Amino acid sequence: MKKIYHESAKYHVSGEAIYIDDIEVNNQLLHGYVYTSPVAHAKIKSYNYSEAQKLAGVHAILNYKDIPGHNQMVPVFQDEVILAIDEVTFIGQAIFLIAAETEEIARQASKLIEIEYEELPAILTIEDAIQNGVTVQPSRKIETGDINEAFKNAKNIIEGELKIGGQEHWYLETQICLCIPQEGRDMKVFSSTQNPSETQLLVAEALGLHKMNVEVEMKRMGGGFGGKETQGNHVAVWSAILANYTKKPVKIRLFRDEDQKMTGKRHRFLIKYKAAFDENGLISAVDFEQNADAGATSDLSMSILERAMLHAENSYYVPNMRIIGHAWKTNLPSNTAFRGFGGPQGIAAMETIIDRIARTLKKDSAEIRNINFYALFERNVTPYGQKIENNRLPKIWEQIIETSEYFARRKQVNEFNQKNEFYKKGLALTPIKFGISFTTAFLNQAGALVHIYNDGSVLVNHGGTEMGQGLHTKMRQIAAKELGIDYENVKVNATNTTKVPNTSPTAASSGADMNGMAVKDAIDKIKKRLSTFIACKFGATYRDNTSDAENLVYDRNIIYDWKQPERKISFNDAIKAAYLGRINLSSNGFYATPGVNFNRDRGFGKPFFYFSYGMAVSEVLLDILTGYTKILRTDILHDVGESLNVDLDKGQVEGAFIQGVGWCTTEELKYDSKGNLLNHSPDTYKIPGVNDIPEIFNVNLLKGYPQPGTIHRSKAVGEPPFMLSFSVWLAIKDAISSIKNHEIEPNFQIPATNENILLSIENLKK
Amino acid sequence: MTTNKNKIQFLLGDKLTEIEFNSEISPTTTVLNYLRSLPNHKGVKEGCAEGDCGACTVVIAEESNNKLTYKSFDSCLIFLPSLHGKQLITVENVGTSEKLHPVQEALVETHASQCGFCTPGFTMSLFSLYKQDFIPSKEFIIDALTGNLCRCTGYKPIIEAAHKCCGEHNHDYFSENENETILKLKGIKNSTNNIVIDNGIQKYFLPSNLAEALQLRTDLPNATIINGGTDIALRVTKKHEIITTIIDLSQTIGLKKITKTDKEWIIGTGVSIEDVRIEVKDIFPALYEMLSVFGSKQIRNKATFGGNIGSASPIGDSTPVLMAYNSTLVLKNTKAEREIKLREFITGYRKTQMSSDELIIAVKIPIPNTNEIIKSYKVSKRKDLDISTVSACFNLLKDEKGKIKEIFMFYGGMAATTSRASKTEDFLNGKEWNRENIEKAMKLIDEDYTPISDARAGAEARKIMARNLLMKFYNDTINL
Ligand SMILES: Cc1cc2nc3c(=O)[nH]c(=O)nc-3n(C[C@H](O)[C@H](O)[C@H](O)COP(=O)(O)OP(=O)(O)OC[C@H]3O[C@@H](n4cnc5c(N)ncnc54)[C@H](O)[C@@H]3O)c2cc1C
Ligand code: FES
Ligand code: FES
């Protein structure tokens, strides 16, 4: 098959790709700046910005009273104001908006603003939040079997707590939006958002307009990773308010440090667990209490917590299980979506249990995993009642154990550790089962709009957004394949709310699944009309009975009747003829994922259309004197059904894995006692660099297992491989644990920074 | 030759470009912001404005001895005036989507871009590697890319692209036009020497020789000195300061020399960290090791040896090493030259013994005796492009019987200055170089230092690191 490169690759490499900050605007452009709270919790006693307003070049300084519409920017729970009223609840909360001729002037103006606060007690840790007892929304529960009975009968019980740190998205392109006022009060919004329809809604509400008055366009993001699912909206709403007020184009681009300080992160979690198992390591019961740090507002915390709970058992069958989830309110920026969406936190705790069972029983952890995996025909119902179909775990296990030479390497690692005092190796295999679909059922819908122009070229619009994942490339491929034409004859347009309305965010890894189906639906509709017309035309040409429209095949730029292959016409000629024949060559398309439902109150249902699977084996070398770890080798086998584009999918697997490795190892968020984030720039916040990837990095996609019922039998790929990074995390733990011959359970958490590793080793030595 | 007032000239691609500074254009405008203000150079991206992501990477070609060298730089850390007489090459100059350069082609074919925001920067880092004209090893490729962050790809395809496009006898548009470029650059340099900029708000001097520089230093004792500018630029790009007077030594010949004798090397403070690193590999291996984990390629190409010492930071990486080598600094003003031991030069947190009319012009590093064992260590959260949490350099001298005659232990990151573990040294001097003594000594390090907790690590971890580095040194030297 011909290689299909990322549709924007040649623009990326030549610097021609246009991001929002690259859009040329007339010289009326103003720069927006957000004045934010420097305190975590306080009453605003008084303020004065008259001096700032006088500064030459300042066009507007606005407060909450200047918002023409609704002062809200969280759609469902409505608990996050656009601009603070009389109280601030986190550092980085927006209080005033400034528009000025240059960023410099805006910044100077902000320094002239006087404001007086009355500080209030702030909740800055999960522990304090639990003490304080306030959640952003009511807590949730999923329960199956009878855990009390199971714990009563248990042979072995382990209990513990796992601390899981947050993660900064560190998209290369910081949050940005450009708003250009149109006729009347209409607004055109160029927003770096994963969720154009929601951006449109929130801008409309803030300006007191209807959605029809607001057009949101998104060509490409310089990375999103979930960080622009809701929080791209904030910058959009702020710039829209300024643009509406000044009647001039306004751009807000967050400076890197501001972005890191103001925006939400992956949720920190504190998970308390208890597990029962027999002498072989077979698990009979697990009890989890998941405590998430929601931050100051709801944002997406409940959906994220829900996904954490729905992934609490990972790939293992647990007959008796209880998962209680709390999203605690703290005085930090509201935490938000990040690749995996709670799944990683839920799974980390389960993998910790498995790891501890192995240590307790002095067995290899891969074997404990194997006996607990969901089985094919029994032991295959999740704690929330969904039956696992098309389970690929046994196949993947079989293949990766062999290709990674797991057991032979386990021996080598043990031998190495016997011989070396200051360097230790660790090895771990971890699996992932990840549910695909939004757990909020109504979001599982997508739309498309496809035009075939009368020169035969095709323009696809769909509701998904491009943030690097290659969604547009895949949509082009799907359209080309469905129409039987060359990939080069299809183009995908910038995502625009005037083309496809009411779309869902590009999230939950579902972008290609759902939009692909919608594109196909649109094309099917056009093909139906076109086939009828061409079939008729064949009849006329051959002075014979017409062809049956159903028999027409679209392939290699030709449309032909497979029953009478001599009846054929080139695609372009067919389109020309159809145009002259006054056939509609444009159509919308729609898709709603069938059969998904989930009852939150009961914690029961079929939230997922299907599951994605994968496994990774990683080996690390730990320098126990410096705590520095090196990944020697990683083998990944991941399931994407029948890949839409092998190269793009591998790219997603590798990228997600490394992003996960960052979260598990060097990416750390520290706060001071006032709630200031200390790691607010890449100087101290360390994402993986080129030297942090495995020395040997074998990434393969599972072959020969198409997924029934999906677009071209493919599967989602964006998020699941993120969690394969637990193989690295637990390999590090394995290495630490070998210092005491695996006899003592080491302290371990996410992230395993060299600091945390050294502290854990010191503790072992005590 | 004349002094250029308020004007600089350079090549942007092949276009001779002149910038005239006035109240609208500040001399501390970064190359990044300048390029982004142009309609046709928006490929260069800002990811951090502090030299940590490489999205803003450009290549600057410089002429010397009728040859061009192509090096990568973070354009967010370069002030415009230092471009004078050089060729600035951006991603747009390298190739277009219609006519891709081999480097760009390789990146496309290996699927090395996802969101693409980091890609122009990677393209430029690879372009500078490509221009080195040899077949790079994996280590070389990685070294060329440590200054570029990518959040999407996981880097594997980018490394693959480098293998694919870099090789010998590379031929491209730039090599075809090399002679012409050299002529143009020489033309600029021949017509000017000193650059003086005064836009009414800021003064910026770019002296071309040392005498001139020293005179400026005497006349303007409060002026900010910059050399590579990688420290000082952050005051502009991150703190948004307006620095009123700057003396920029980056074009000062006379600071860029390395003199080698049998006894010592004298390294000019204007030599870039990267050039020092490459030169010292065999003679001063502990310095080489340390400089190999210093910043990134882009940072090392710009940062100077002098700037690292001049900043007198407790986490400056060269200081503990140069102290262990017992280096001497050469300070100079218009009247005299004096020498001072680096071990005595730094007096407090970012405080030194330099007076306000002096410049550090060179560092003298004595070539160690064969019986001195010197090793350096750096602990940081990420191995590359990260500032030290704790750094150390040890110098061990054993007597004929193998006992410790004298040990020098210098730590960075443990106190307000790079400092010696005196109590520990005292304990070890005269003792056997054995495990038992090392373990005892490790406990004493806690008495030598009371480190702080900060964004990088807590005090407890710093203490563990400091102790363990001594054990590491012992373990590394057990058989020497
Ligand atoms: C992304 C990044 C990564 C970095 N990584 C490292 C690292 O790994 N290790 C490390 O040690 N540092 C690191 N640094 C800090 C910095 O790059 C180094 O300290 C560098 O050596 C400074 O050199 P410069 O020439 O760029 O300094 P400049 O900014 O030009 O000057 C630094 C200071 O020295 C003074 N000075 C310069 N030259 C002279 C002179 N001739 N005489 C007297 N005073 C002088 C200046 O006045 C100024 O106070 C990093 C910086 C950045 C931005
Ligand atoms: S913008 Fe990040 S290095 Fe320059
Ligand atoms: S491709 Fe997105 S950051 Fe590199």
A60 assigned to some structural domain: yes
Q: Measure the CA–CA gap between A242 and A618, rounded to whole angstroms.
A: 50
Ligand 1 in contact with B413 (CB < 6 A)?
A: no
Phi, then psi, of A287 in degrees rounded to 5: -125, 120
Whether residue A468 sits in one domain with residue A588: yes
CB–CB contact A17 B116 (8 Å): yes
User: How does pLDDT run across B378-426, given as a tens digit for each residue?
Assistant: 999 999 999 999 999 999 999 999 899 999 999 999 999 999 999 999 9
CB–CB contact B152 A255 (8 Å): no
Q: Which of the residues A7, A719, A743, A755 is marked catalytic?
A: A719
Secondary structure of residue B269 in the 3-state scheme: coil
pLDDT at residue B332 tops 90: yes
pLDDT at residue A2 tops 80: no
Whether residue A577 sits in one domain with residue A609: no
pLDDT at position A766: 85
A629 assigned to some structural domain: yes
List the end-to-end C-alpha distance of chain B, in Å, as a whole number: 57
Whether residue A754 sits in one domain with residue A630: yes
Whether residue A250 sits in one domain with residue A276: no
Q: Measure the CA–CA gap between A456 and B85, rounded to whole angstroms.
A: 52
Residue range B342-350: average pLDDT?
Answer: 94
Contact by Cβ (8 Å): B120, B42? no
Its ipTM equals 0.97
CB–CB contact A697 B118 (8 Å): no
Ligand 3 in contact with B151 (CB < 6 A)?
A: yes
Q: Quick one: pLDDT band at residue B3, thresholds 50, 70, 90?
A: confident
Which of B149, B156, B471 lies nearest to residue A689, judging by beta carbons?
Answer: B149
A159 assigned to some structural domain: no
Tokens representing residue A645 in the block: 């584009």
Contact by Cβ (8 Å): A727, A632? no
pLDDT at residue A389 tops 90: yes
Contact by Cβ (8 Å): B428, B437? yes
Residue in chain B closest to A671 (alpha carbons) equals B455
CATH number (domain holding residue A231): 3.90.1170.50
Q: Which residues of B touch A670 (CB under 8 A)?
A: 455
Whether residue A320 sits in one domain with residue A178: no
Ligand 1 in contact with B358 (CB < 6 A)?
A: no
What is the residue-averaged pLDDT of chain B?
96
Burial class (CB within 10 angstroms; exposed 0-12, middle 13-18, buried 19+) of A707? buried
pLDDT at position B104: 98
pLDDT at position B2: 65
Nearest to A102 by CA among A207, A27, A38: A27
pLDDT at residue A688 tops 60: yes
Residue range B109-133: average pLDDT?
Answer: 97
Whether residue A212 sits in one domain with residue A112: yes
Contact by Cβ (8 Å): B42, A16? no
Whether residue A487 sits in one domain with residue A378: no
Residue range A20-25: average pLDDT?
Answer: 97
CATH number (domain holding residue A665): 3.30.365.10
Whether A719 is a known active-site residue: answer yes
Whether residue A638 sits in one domain with residue A587: no
Distances from the Cα of A251 to the Cαs of A56, A235, B183, in angstroms?
19, 9, 43
Q: Measure the CA–CA gap between A230 and A75, rounded to whole angstroms.
A: 9
Whether residue A237 sits in one domain with residue A294: no
pLDDT at position A682: 98
Strands B192-198 and B203-206: antiparallel
A298 assigned to some structural domain: yes
Last residue of a domain, one of A227, A262, A297: A262
Nearest to B411 by CA among B358, B458, B344, B462: B462
Q: Count the alpha carbons within 13 Å of A672 in the hemisphere toward its beta carbon.
A: 14
Q: Which residues of A touch B123 (CB under 8 A)?
A: 13-15
CB–CB contact A754 B381 (8 Å): yes
**Burial call A66-104: b when 16+ CB within 10 Å, e when fewer:** ebebebbbbeeeebbbbbbeeebbbbbbbbbbbbbbebe
Strands B2-5 and B346-348: unpaired
- Strand order of the β-sheet with A628-638 is A423-436, A610-623, A628-638, A696-701
A130 assigned to some structural domain: no
pLDDT at position A1: 61
Whether residue A300 sits in one domain with residue A254: no
Contacts of B460 (CB under 8 A, 6+ apart): A759
CB–CB contact A173 B117 (8 Å): yes
pLDDT at position B480: 75
User: How does pLDDT run across B201-242, given as a tens digit for each residue?
Assistant: 999 999 999 999 999 999 999 999 999 999 999 999 999 999
A160 assigned to some structural domain: no
3-state secondary structure A202-269: HHHHHHCCCHHHEEEEECCCCCCCCCCCCCHHHHHHHHHHHHHHHCCCEEEECCHHHHHHHCCCECCE
Residue A22: count of CB within 10 angstroms of its CB: 15
Ligand 1 in contact with B226 (CB < 6 A)?
A: yes
Tokens representing residue B31 in the block: 């190359």
Q: Quick one: pLDDT band at residue A270, thresholds 50, 70, 90?
A: very high
CA angle A739, A744, A750 (to 5 degrees): 80
User: How does pLDDT run across A57-82, given as a tens digit for each residue?
Assistant: 999 999 999 999 999 998 888 999 99
pLDDT at residue A385 tops 80: yes
Ligand 2 in contact with B53 (CB < 6 A)?
A: yes
pLDDT at position B194: 87
A194 assigned to some structural domain: yes
pLDDT at position B265: 98
Amino acid code (one letter) for A222: G
Burial class (CB within 10 angstroms; exposed 0-12, middle 13-18, buried 19+) of A2? exposed
Tokens representing residue A395 in the block: 């196949």
Q: Measure the CA–CA gap between A553 and A484, rounded to whole angstroms.
A: 8
Whether residue A712 sits in one domain with residue A639: yes
pLDDT at residue A543 tops 80: no
Specify the higher pLDDT residue, A441 or B80: B80
Nearest to B129 by CA among B145, B150, B146: B145
Last residue of a domain, one of A592, A615, A648: A592
Distances from the Cα of A109 to the Cαs of A61, A105, A228, B285, in angstroms?
9, 6, 28, 51
Tokens representing residue B211 in the block: 């005498």
Residue range B42-62: average pLDDT?
Answer: 98
Question: What is the per-residue DSSP string for A89-114?
Answer: -STT-EEEEEEESSHHHHHHHHHH-E
Burial class (CB within 10 angstroms; exposed 0-12, middle 13-18, buried 19+) of B285? middle
What's the residue count for chain B? 480
- What is the total count of domains within chain A? 3
User: How does pLDDT run across A586-622, given as a tens digit for each residue?
Assistant: 999 999 999 999 999 999 999 999 999 999 999 999 9
Which pTM value belongs to this model? 0.98
Burial class (CB within 10 angstroms; exposed 0-12, middle 13-18, buried 19+) of A175? buried
Q: What percent of chain B has pLDDT over 90?
A: 95
Distances from the Cα of B357 to the Cαs of A305, A519, B217, B332, in angstroms?
62, 71, 5, 8
Tokens representing residue A355 in the block: 């790891």
Q: Quick one: pLDDT band at residue A698, thresholds 50, 70, 90?
A: very high
To 10 degrees, the CA torsion angle through A113, A119, A124, A127?
Answer: -170
Contact by Cβ (8 Å): A608, A438? no
User: How does pLDDT run across B431-473, given as a tens digit for each residue?
Assistant: 999 999 999 999 999 999 999 999 999 999 999 999 999 999 9
Residue B191: count of CB within 10 angstroms of its CB: 12
Nearest ligand 1 atom, CA B226: 30
Smallest CA–CA distance, residue A562 to chain B, in Å, is: 36
User: How does pLDDT run across A405-445, given as a tens digit for each residue?
Assistant: 999 999 999 999 999 999 999 999 999 999 999 999 899 99
Name all domains of chain B by residue range, CATH numbers in brackets. Answer: 2-92+175-251 (3.10.20.30), 102-171 (1.10.150.120), 258-477 (3.30.390.50)
A154 assigned to some structural domain: no
**Strands (DSSP E) along A130-199, which ranges?**
140-144, 156-164, 176-181, 187-191
Whether residue A83 sits in one domain with residue A30: yes
Contact by Cβ (8 Å): B55, A682? no
Q: Measure the CA–CA gap between A490 and A482, rounded to whole angstroms.
A: 11
pLDDT at residue A363 tops 70: yes
pLDDT at residue A545 tops 80: no
pLDDT at position B50: 98
DSSP assigned state of A463: S
Q: Which residues of B touch A697 (CB under 8 A)?
A: 156
Which of A6, A681, A759 lies nearest to residue B111, judging by beta carbons?
Answer: A6
Residue A628's domain comprises 269-439+600-765
